[in-house]
């Protein structure tokens, strides 16, 4: 894995890009398909792919570069020189992830009767890119899908995706979801122009499948997830986003203190 850029370095790169540059979330198969699909829009011509991680990820990071190169080839194949995909950037904020998803687990379980790190993780991944998009074209492309060949993922449910969009909108950023209603994996492969099985050729997560039983069945109470999204994820992410916009180098302790003084955790 390439060394993750520090915040000041990424900001210097951003300053040299056209103002209409759109950030493309770069991760696995769906994110690549989303970038390619979004490029159909005549208003999207300059795309900055940004790979971001959580501290729970491990394994195959090397495929990111190969997948990026193949995406660039596919974009040229489809759009010629009309679309530009800039070099792949790496940017994460593990302290932010920890505050949203790790520090208050006991509190969350008691308050909402529910917890999974996956929803907050996706919110984090959208948030950190949205905060960078504020300095560019105020648009972020993401690969969220409500259905994966009939399978439901709670971090990509309709209300989860709506909440991510709402978080980005709070910062005047549009979270673009071009494959949100693409159900079949075959359609994703048609977009990317090659065989690429879901879950292959990218890093893994230690919490993968944590909300399913031993047979892989997903059971959840929608009202609990909605309560968690509306009353924890949205207000916490917008508050912490404000903290980071004011001070990109805010520490974990500073973030926690801000949340403690807000009353959101009571």
User: What are the tens digits of pLDDT across the range 144-156?
Assistant: 998 876 777 888 8
Q: Is residue 244 part of a domain?
A: no
Domain-embedded: residue 257: no
**Residue 77: its pLDDT value, please?**
95
| Tokens describing residue 8 | 């000041």
pLDDT-based confidence at residue 242 (cuts at 50, 70, 90): very high
Question: Residue 261 and residue 108: Cα distance in Å, rounded?
Answer: 17
Asked if the model's pLDDT at residue 131 lies above 80, the reply is yes
Can you tell me the mean pLDDT for 165-169? 98
Q: What is the predicted pLDDT for the residue at 205? A: 83
State the pTM of this model.
0.93
pLDDT in tens, 24-56: 999 989 999 999 999 999 999 999 999 999 999
The pLDDT of 177-202, averaged and rounded, is 83
Whether residue 3 is predicted with pLDDT greater than 60 in this model: the reply is no
User: How far apart, in whole angstroms, are the C-alpha atoms of residue 161 and residue 142?
Assistant: 10
In a domain, residue 226? The reply is no
Quick one: average pLDDT of 237-242? Answer: 98
Q: CA-CA distance, 224 to 221, in Å (whole number)?
A: 6
% of the chain surpassing 70 pLDDT: 95
Residue 219's alpha-carbon distances to 106, 133, 180, in angstroms, are 21, 35, 21
- Structural domain contains residue 40: yes
CA separation, residue 234 to residues 43, 174, 210 (Å): 29, 16, 22
- Mean residue pLDDT of the chain comes to 90
Tell me how many domains the chain contains. Answer: 1
Higher model confidence: residue 200 or residue 63?
63
pLDDT at 69: 94
pLDDT at 181 over 70: yes
Residue 159, domain member (yes or no): yes
1 falls in which pLDDT band (50, 70, 90)? very low
Q: pLDDT value at position 6? A: 59
31 within domain boundaries:
yes
pLDDT above 80 for 110: yes
| Residue 246 pLDDT > 90 | yes
Residue 264, in any domain of the structure? no
The whole-number pLDDT of residue 2 equals: 47
Does residue 37 fall inside a structural domain?
yes
The parent domain of residue 81 ranges over 7-92+119-209
Token digits of residue 101: 């998803």
Confidence grade of residue 199 (pLDDT, cut at 50, 70, 90): low
- Interatomic CA distance for residues 64 and 16, integer angstroms: 24
pLDDT: which is higher, 256 or 221: 256
C-alpha span between 239 and 264 (Å, rounded) = 10
Question: For residue 10, what pLDDT is reported?
Answer: 81
CATH code of the domain in which 50 resides: 3.40.50
The answer to whether residue 255 scores a pLDDT higher than 90 is yes
Q: Is residue 136 predicted with pLDDT exceeding 70?
A: yes
């Amino acid at each position: 894995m390439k060394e993750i850029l520090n915040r000041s370095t990424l900001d210097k790169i951003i300053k040299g890009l056209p103002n209409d540059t759109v950030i493309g979330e770069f991760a696995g198969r769906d994110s690549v398909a989303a970038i390619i699909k979004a490029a159909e829009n005549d208003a999207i011509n300059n795309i900055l792919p940004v790979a971001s991680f959580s501290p729970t990820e491990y394994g195959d990071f090397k495929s990111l570069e190969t997948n990026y190169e193949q995406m660039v080839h596919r974009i040229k194949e489809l759009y010629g020189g009309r679309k530009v995909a800039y070099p792949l950037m790496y940017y994460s904020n593990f302290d932010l992830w920890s505050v949203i998803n790790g520090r208050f687990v006991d509190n969350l379980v008691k308050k909402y009767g529910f917890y999974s790190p996956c929803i907050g993780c996706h919110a984090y991944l959208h948030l950190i890119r949205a905060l960078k998009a504020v300095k560019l074209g105020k648009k972020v492309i993401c690969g969220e899908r409500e259905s994966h060949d009939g399978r439901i993922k709670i971090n990509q449910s309709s209300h989860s995706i709506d909440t991510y969009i709402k978080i980005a909108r709070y910062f005047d950023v549009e979270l673009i979801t071009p494959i949100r209603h693409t159900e079949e994996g075959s359609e994703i492969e048609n977009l990317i122009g090659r065989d690429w099985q879901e879950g292959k050729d990218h890093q893994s997560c230690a919490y993968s499948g944590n909300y399913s039983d031993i047979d892989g069945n997903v059971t959840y109470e929608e009202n609990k997830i909605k309560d968690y999204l509306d009353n924890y994820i949205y207000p916490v992410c917008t508050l912490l986003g404000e903290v980071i916009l004011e001070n990109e180098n805010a520490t974990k302790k500073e973030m926690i203190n801000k949340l403690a003084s807000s009353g959101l955790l009571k």
